[in-house]
Amino acid sequence: MEYVVEMLNITKEFPGIKANDDVTLQLKKQEIHALLGENGAGKSTLMSVLFGLYQPEKGTIKINGEEVKINDPNDANKYKIGMVHQHFKLVHNYSVVENIMLGVESTKNGLLDYSVAREKIIELSEKYNLRIDPDSLIEDISVGMQQRVEILKMLYRDAEILIFDEPTAVLTPQEIEELMKIMKNLTTEGKSIVLITHKLKEIKKVADRCSVLRKGKYIGTVGVKNTSTSKMAEMMVGRPVNFGVDKKKANPTDVVLEVKDIVVEDSLSRKLRVNNVSFCVKKGEIFCVAGIEGNGQTQLVEAITGLERCKGSIFLNGEDITNTSIRKRNNMGVSHIPEDRHKHGLILDYSLEYNLVLQEYFTPKFQKFGFLKQKAIRENAEILINEFDIRSGQGAITDARSMSGGNQQKAIIAREVSRDTDLIIAVQPTRGLDVGAIEFVHKELVELRDQGKAVLLISLELDEVMNLSDRIIVMYEGELVGEFDPLKTTETELGLYMAGSKKKKKEVKHSGKSE
């Protein structure tokens, strides 16, 4: 059997942990090979080794049967390895052509020559069916298109081995569909693909074989066709995984949060980010705001939590909190699991224990006469670390920055949930998390609901929306376009509303009063 890439017995250590422990990955020509594993399982490390960003302590890398040493990404380019990173590496105010030729610019008499590059790009996009306007600016095109630019960038450099790092995390269901087609297309044209992911559905759909990593160790490689998703999940997590969300029928009671005619205006462009949205969330239900990223959900949450000013009115347990300070709202019973963990959720340069008291350090429990009670803070951290199984290098004193994404999220959830508030606002709480962690978050949210708390969930993942919520509204371009019962609707229907091709007029009206 011939392999285009073989990574044999790779071991990569970082101070304190073995990120890869005797890992083997063999990529056949023209296959899509999924690399599956939880967060922190070592997938990215392994690919960084292949891409020349890290040097392994042990193990060999063979390209087309020949042993090679990859010292830096330039070497990787030389061996025709290309990578689409999870966070795109594009210059936003450059055009598509400029981005693609960046680093391998074609010149004529010492001046940039766009026409050569342009032609090649058009040729490539036709060959691989990657339609794109070469002259538009990156900031003007959608995320899905940006991803195409990244793919073209690899192809432009004649890459044969393509690495996709969590490529679907930022895409809409329709865009994911397209990407799958593109990937299939690429392999029929002779490319070989490594797909890093933890979404089993996608693996099942597109991959040929699948290698599983768990905690840095190599678990095995299986053919996707004759392996069930639950088997793969078990390999990844190390125990049987429950995919469905176990929950009883919701039993909503009193209204906790009421939002009336909320309007949020962008301070710069004067565009209406949220346009006249009204709804209410009751105790004992999970209320979900679905929608494609950038349709006003972020601004809606910022208005409710007080991070942004808004018109309209917001009531918490009947009390008007429209103009109340953030601190006051938090104390009155709002927990917020924010969308952006690094921007809002954590102070990365603070230790875990400090981050765990971020919402409570000023209470008598943790301070006296203005002096922090270090001992109480440490105890609080230890209790939460135990209860929520937050893993980190040095326990309570670990810098939040050095923790893995999943554990950072766990820390935020631990902090917000332990405050015992009436309303929990969870914005994409499972973004970037692995199956095990997702299961944990979902369970936690359902449990909170069953305890009689109101949960406001904002999610882009249709699976999550359908499985978790008791009521769904869809936002499109800042407006509320429909309200649904998850038991009576389908993903396709939601998808159509999310994409703006359908709109329910009458149902929206009943909740909104015109000013």
Partner 1 sequence: MENQNKKAKKFSFEAFFTGKIFLDIASSIFSIFLGLLLGYLVMYFINPEYATSAFKVVIGSWKQIELSGTQSFNIGEILFRATPIILTGLSISFAFRAGLFNIGVVGQFTVGAVAAIYVGVKWTFLADVLGMNLHWPVALLAALLAGGVWGAIPGLLKAYRNVNEVVAGIMLNYVGMYLSIYFIMHNIFNPTYARALSVEPSAELPTWGLEKLFPSPNMNIGIILALAAVIITHIILYNTKSGFEIKAVGFNRHASKYAGINENKNIALALIISGAIAGLAGAIVYLVGGKSFAVIAVLEPQGFTGIAIALLGLTTPIGTFLVGIFYGVLQYGGYLIQGDLLGGFKPEIVDVIISTIIYISALSLFVKMYLKKIIKYIGNISKPKAEPKAEPKAETKKGGDE
List contacts with partner 1 (CB under 8 A). 15-16, 305, 307, 325-331, 336, 338, 343-350, 354, 358-359, 361-362, 367, 370-372, 374
Report the nearest approach of partner 1 to the CB of residue 128 (Å): 39
Which helix (H) or strand (E) segment holds residue 28: the answer is strand 17-28
Entry field: residues in the chain: 515
Beta strands in 240-376 (DSSP E): 255-265, 272-282, 286-290, 311-316, 319-320, 334-337, 367-368, 371-372
Report the nearest approach of partner 1 to the CB of residue 13 (Å): 9
Alpha-helical (H) ranges within 217-325 are 229-237, 297-305
Integer CA distances (angstroms), 194 to 39, 161, 202, 290, 416, in order: 17, 8, 13, 31, 37
Report the nearest approach of partner 1 to the CB of residue 477 (Å): 25
What is the C-alpha to C-alpha distance for residues 500 and 342, in angstroms, rounded to an integer? 30
Specify burial of residue 366 (Cβ count, 10 A radius: 0-12, 13-18, 19+).
middle
What is the C-alpha to C-alpha distance for residues 274 and 160, in angstroms, rounded to an integer? 45
Q: Which tokens go with 110?
A: 């010492």
Closest to partner 1 by CB, 336 vs 453, is 336
Report the nearest approach of partner 1 to the CB of residue 8 (Å): 19
Report the nearest approach of partner 1 to the CB of residue 325 (Å): 7
Closest to partner 1 by CB, 174 vs 331, is 331
Closest to partner 1 by CB, 216 vs 345, is 345
What is the C-alpha to C-alpha distance for residues 266 and 115, in angstroms, rounded to an integer? 39
Report the nearest approach of partner 1 to the CB of residue 305 (Å): 8
Closest to partner 1 by CB, 251 vs 374, is 374
The backbone torsions φ and ψ at residue 500, rounded to the nearest 5 degrees and listed phi first, read 85, 5
Integer CA distances (angstroms), 110 to 104, 113, 157, 364, in order: 13, 9, 21, 68
What is the widest separation between alpha-carbon atoms in the chain? 75
Closest to partner 1 by CB, 60 vs 374, is 374
Report the nearest approach of partner 1 to the CB of residue 378 (Å): 14
Closest to partner 1 by CB, 122 vs 326, is 326
- Closest by Cα among 508, 460, 458 to 480: 508
Report the nearest approach of partner 1 to the CB of residue 337 (Å): 11
Is the separation of the CB atoms in 61 and 69 below 8 Å? yes
Closest to partner 1 by CB, 37 vs 40, is 40
Is the separation of the CB atoms in 425 and 379 below 8 Å? no
Closest to partner 1 by CB, 199 vs 329, is 329
Report the nearest approach of partner 1 to the CB of residue 257 (Å): 18
Count of H-run helices and E-run strands, the chain: 17, 24
Q: What does the DSSP assignment read for 65-101?
A: TEEE---SHHHHHHTTEEEE-SS----TTSBHHHHHH
- Closest by Cα among 126, 85, 173 to 466: 173
Residue 105 sits at the vertex; the CA angle it makes with 100 and 111, to the nearest 5 degrees, is 135
Closest to partner 1 by CB, 87 vs 369, is 369
Report the nearest approach of partner 1 to the CB of residue 340 (Å): 8
Please name the amino acid found at residue 74: N
- Closest by Cα among 218, 205, 217 to 179: 205
What is the C-alpha to C-alpha distance for residues 276 and 475, in angstroms, rounded to an integer? 11
Closest to partner 1 by CB, 243 vs 350, is 350
Report the nearest approach of partner 1 to the CB of residue 261 (Å): 25
Report the nearest approach of partner 1 to the CB of residue 161 (Å): 28
Closest to partner 1 by CB, 181 vs 309, is 309
Closest to partner 1 by CB, 323 vs 374, is 374
